[in-house]
Amino acid sequence: MDLAQIKAAFDSRRPGHSLPQELYNDPAMFEFDLHAAFGRTWLMAGFSCELPTPGSYSSIKVGPWPILIVRGRDGVVRGFHNSCRHRGAVLCKEGQGRSPRIVCPYHRWTYNLDGSLMNAARMPDDFDTSDHGLRPVHTEVVAGVIYICLSETPLPFERFRADMEAVLGPHDLENAKVVHSEVLVEQANWKLVLENGRECYHCQGSHPELAKTFPADMSAYFDFGGADHAARFDARMDEIGLPKGPVGEGWWQAVRFPLNPGMISMTVDGTPASKKLMCPIGDGDIGSLRWALEPHHFAHATGDLVFCFSAMPSGPRETLVTAKWLMHKDAVDGVDYDSSTIAEPWHTTNLQDRDLAENNQNGVDSPGYTPGPYSPEAETLVLRFVDWYCDRAREYLDEQLAKECVHAA
């Protein structure tokens, strides 16, 4: 599809309905989505505890684009395009590590931790190292979480920072550690993966393990319809002074909500996963703080644990799902928690969701697929995500089509 065809597909979308087929499976949409969605908004890139000391780095990908996040000697976390300024080689392979400087494996160009070029052998006398530092990406750290934006003009960040420091700050993620992580390759378009992750319409039937603790029968955006246990939860959070929201803007939202009655954490039996709490306020019985960013992320923070989900497109019908579990850095395996059970029930839920998304993709690929209506009561956040995506896509389309007109003139 060219831009005019992509625009026609968006124009054909019925409000309140899922997307036209080609937006879920046409190969042209992979590149389009990277630029229209992932290249223009803030993305969750990791946790500051994963970069504990100067020289610690994390090499990640946004789609096919390599990004390097480094803690400098001054303690500041910075992000860069993971591409050498010589001939573009990737500087650090995917994963985490630590180095006193950044050295290109190809021709040994060497960079300081602030991205400035330190040494480039066998270059002419008039070569200016100051002109060849790594290209930065906008990087912010809020309540122990790292965010990046690849756009030259990122969305305003101030409200997000203030609200998230208030609601997430009490969970002390600066003093956390990742106790488990896993990556799933899902054979489904990233939008189908995200739509699945933005609703619990399917949870009672598909996630019995999660539904034991998670309020799968809630309405709209964590609306409990005046239920007694929800009213008691709200009153208790006010009493102990723990902010609950909701807060948010078009590209993010956060709210603290009660789990099912009698449940303290989203574990197999609803009891805390760790004796060493991340948020000891209220003895850790504080429901869950859910926060999410469009277009790829959601997380749940209970008193004992943080579970984080991120989905990145890796092809037209392929998505990499990364999941991380965090606990207090002083929690000891075998004493405070059991590493063999820590991933449940989210591990099982992720596998179930992978099957659901892949099945969804197979059905969307059918010549009989017709976009269907979302449930306003059960799929509020899905509709919010899809509307956000369509709005960003139209903005990008307008810009690109205007450039085509200029070039044609």
Mean pLDDT along residues 64-77: 98
Q: Encode pLDDT of 128-177 as tens digits.
A: 999 999 999 999 999 999 999 999 999 999 999 999 999 999 999 999 99
How far is residue 372's CA from residue 351's CA, in Å, rounded to a whole number? Answer: 25
Report the pLDDT value the prediction gives residue 225, as an integer from 0 to 100.
84
Confidence at 180, pLDDT banded by 50, 70, 90: very high
What's the predicted TM-score (pTM) here?
0.96
Confidence at 403, pLDDT banded by 50, 70, 90: confident
Domain ranges in the chain are 1-39+178-409, 42-149
The architecture that CATH gives domain 1-39+178-409 is: Alpha-Beta Complex (3.90)
Mean pLDDT along residues 298-323: 98
Q: Give helix 190-197 / helix 346-364 axis angle, nearest 10°.
A: 130
Report the pLDDT value the prediction gives residue 409, as an integer from 0 to 100.
63
**Percentage of residues in the chain with pLDDT exceeding 70?**
99
How far is residue 147's CA from residue 118's CA, in Å, rounded to a whole number? Answer: 27
Confidence at 1, pLDDT banded by 50, 70, 90: confident
Report the pLDDT value the prediction gives residue 226, as an integer from 0 to 100.
81
Mean pLDDT along residues 41-56: 98
Element (H, E) at 195: helix 190-197
Q: Encode pLDDT of 38-48 as tens digits.
A: 999 999 999 99
Mean pLDDT along residues 56-85: 98
Q: Which long-range contacts (CB under 8 A, 24 or more apart) does 82-91 make?
A: 83/134, 83/135, 84/109, 85/109, 85/117, 85/132, 85/133, 85/134, 85/135, 86/120, 86/132, 90/59, 90/66, 91/59, 91/134
- Could you tell me the end-to-end alpha-carbon distance of the chain, in angstroms, rounded to an integer? 23
Pairing of strands 306-315, 297-301: antiparallel
SS3 149: strand
Q: Is 315's pLDDT higher than 90?
A: yes
Residues in a beta bridge with 177? 327
Alpha helix ranges (H) inside 22-129: 22-25, 28-33
**Which residues, 6 or more positions from 239, have their beta carbon under 8 angstroms from its beta carbon?**
none
| CATH tag, 42-149 | 2.102.10.10
> Phi/psi class of residue 144: alpha, beta or left (left: φ > 0; alpha: ψ in -120 to 50)?
left
